[in-house]
Amino acid sequence: MKVLRVGCPMWAHRPWVGRFYPVGTKPGTELGLYASWCNAVEGNTTFYAEPSAGTVAKWTEQTPADFRFAFKLPRTVTHDKRLRDVATEVRSFLQAIDPLGDRVGPLQVQLPATFGPDRLDVLLAFLRRLPLDRSWALELRHPAFFDDSATHRRVDGLCIERGITRIMLDSRPLHLVPAASDAAREEKQNKPDLPVLTQVAGDHPIVRVIGQDRPEGTMDGLLAWVPQVVTWLDEGRVPYVFVHQPENLDSPGLARAFHDAVADEVPDLEPLPDPAGQTTMF
């Protein structure tokens, strides 16, 4: 069967208790419940710190074997040291998550908007050193990597050569309407409005749809991706689509609704698990 992975930036979001998680859900137990709604997660937690062995063991216990974590490299690597002299940190991170086995999906290298063409050689050297026994995804936010310049083409060429996905950050739904909350205003400052390029999708395309406070507006942005995702599935790829909202109040339900929309077009799509105890969508 064909596989589409959908999810959210995190799993431990307390506003989901009583909506997507049962009332009384205790902190630290959310991951198992989340895995009954979605079959993948970005796992932003690793951006802030490398997980301990005990934490990784708990993640393994709370998720089924067909669940996938699309972890981000720690910010020490991407934002503090900006990819320079980071071999020790990358090796340590890979060793830390290794007990998760096949649950580890594409690993995300998310770079800040200030990481530009002046650091092209550092970026290319880093990409060349990434171990090919892992699946990698690169998120760039500087406009010079989206303008069909020589810099842009060199990065894309190396990504294609080494099978590295360029993450598609689709912030169009967010920027389409005025911000309706402080969270949306902050999100607009943090999520750039850049072209959405699909040429370097790799075997595991990753789309991060940055939505609105209104779930309907976010859903409209998600539905625009249905034809492209169907094409990827027909080509034998395994896409990942992650749903973001300013406050992420409805994201698990939106992720499932998007999966349902794709399933309407792809009869042999592997179904999502049944939610545990809750039926609220969005």
Q: Of the candidates 279, 181, 263, 175, which has an alpha carbon nearest to the alpha carbon of residue 217?
A: 175
- CB atoms < 10 A from the CB of 74, how many? 22
Residue 182 falls within a domain, yes or no?
Answer: yes
| pTM score above 0.85 | yes
Dihedral (C-alpha) 190, 195, 199, 201: value to the nearest 10 degrees?
20
Is 23 part of any domain? Answer: yes
Q: Which amino acid is at 63?
A: T
* 152's tokens: 């842009």
Total domain count for the chain? 1
Q: Is residue 178 in some structural domain?
A: yes
The parent domain of residue 118 ranges over 5-265
Please choose, from the candidates 94, 170, 76, the residue with its C-alpha nearest in 3D space to the C-alpha of residue 136.
94
Low-confidence ranges of the chain (pLDDT < 70): 276-282
Other C-beta atoms within 10 Å of 147: how many? Answer: 13
Element (H, E) at 174: helix 172-176
Q: What is the pLDDT of residue 209?
A: 98
Beta bridge partners of residue 215, listed in sequence order = none
Please report, for the domain that includes residue 177, its CATH number: 3.20.20.410
The reply to whether 149 falls in a domain is yes
The length of the chain is: 282
Q: Phi and psi dihedrals of 7, rounded to 5?
A: 180, -160
- The residues near 242 (Cβ < 8 Å, ≥ 6 apart) are 6, 7, 8, 9, 40, 42, 70, 206, 207, 208, 209, 255
Does residue 79 sit within a domain? yes
Both tokens assigned to 202: 């790799």
In a domain, 63, yes or no: yes
Q: What is the pLDDT of residues 237-276, one digit of tens each?
A: 999 999 999 999 999 999 999 999 999 999 999 999 988 5
280 assigned to some structural domain: no
Longest dimension (CA), the chain: 55
Give the separation between CA 153 and CA 134, rounded to whole angstroms: 23
Pair 167, 42: CB distance under 8 Å: no
Residue 271 located in a structural domain: no
SS3 193: coil
Q: Backbone dihedral region of 172: left (phi > 0), alpha (psi from -120 to 50 degrees) or beta?
A: alpha
